[in-house]
Chain A
Amino acid sequence: MYYRSLFPRDLFAEFDRLQREMQQSFDPHPSIRGLTRGFPALNIGGTPKAVDIYAFAPGIDPATLEVQLVKGMLTIAGERKPEPLPEKATRHIDERFAGRFQRVVSLPDDVDPNAIDAKYRDGVLHVHILRKQEAQPRRITIQ
């Protein structure tokens, strides 16, 4: 899988990524790890004060979710157990993800690793990381 920054800064890097993704989807021999779509799906956004990551991971006991921040890399890992199949039952549709998962996001340099909190509600893990004080915009008064 390609490393990619989820916080676009450079337009050319973005074009590059787009081109790679298009190539990947038309490639008759895709990567052994499949396309970049993984579980849980991630939505990422930011404000001048914080970075917010939403991981769509339904049906997981929040106590078993591992959220780690090491050297600016945020890792979300865990396991989702398949629904048990009762005796003499048939599975007609089987689309939901089951098994171990891990996703890694590289965070921008200005986040504060000590100001991170995570909440799990309605199957969505919300990780909220504040940016460092010194990185926040400040108004300078003119003497």
Chain B
Amino acid sequence: MSENTAVAKSTENTRNEAALLPPTDVIEDIDGITLYADLPGVPKDKLNLQVEADTLTIEGEVSLDLPEGMESSHAEVGLPRYRRVFTLSRELDAGKVSAELKEGVLKLRIPKAEHAQPRRVEIQVA
């Protein structure tokens, strides 16, 4: 039971803890949006993706194998956590988000909802 409360506590706390903003690319094409985010050092099991209403939250914890007793002498990545929140627009289908994490790069694909897909209007020539 103590383990459970510890887990609940840690997820609750992460919202308020300071985090780094991962650099991101967002590309939109006809069928949807592709998002790439740099999350170096985040393994699959430490990545947390959430879609709540129209909010997409990307959160990841850095896990490096640090030797015991290592003293840091220079740090450009000063926090072990990334977080970034995006607001999705209504035409995106949040239920069909697919994600892939490879070598520290997260690739998200958010398709557009069927009704928002562009349709070519045929012009009738009389």
Contact = CB atoms under 8 A, between A and B. Distances in A.
Contacts, number: 122
Given A91-B25, A92-B28, A124-B41, A56 B77 contact: yes
A115 to B, nearest CB: 14
Interface string B1-37: 0000000000000000000000111111110001010
B74 A44 contact: yes
A86 B71 contact: no
Contacts of B73: 6-8, 44-46
Interface of B, secondary structure class, is loop
Interface in B55-77: 63-77
A41 to B, nearest CB: 4
Contacts of B75: 43-44
Interface stretch (A18-26, A47-55, A70-78, A134-142): A47-55
Interface residues of B, number: 35
A79 B75 CA distance: 22
A49 to B, nearest CB: 8
Contact of B104 (A50, A59, A93): A59
B78 to A, nearest CB: 9
Contacts of B34: 83
Interface residues of A, number: 42
B92 interface: no
Contacts of B43: 122
30 contacts: A7-B73, A41-B40, A41-B76, A42-B74, A45-B71, A46-B73, A47-B67, A47-B69, A52-B66, A52-B70, A57-B104, A58-B103, A58-B104, A59-B105, A83-B27, A88-B29, A88-B30, A89-B29, A90-B27, A92-B27, A92-B28, A95-B24, A96-B36, A97-B23, A120-B103, A122-B42, A122-B63, A122-B104, A123-B40, A123-B42
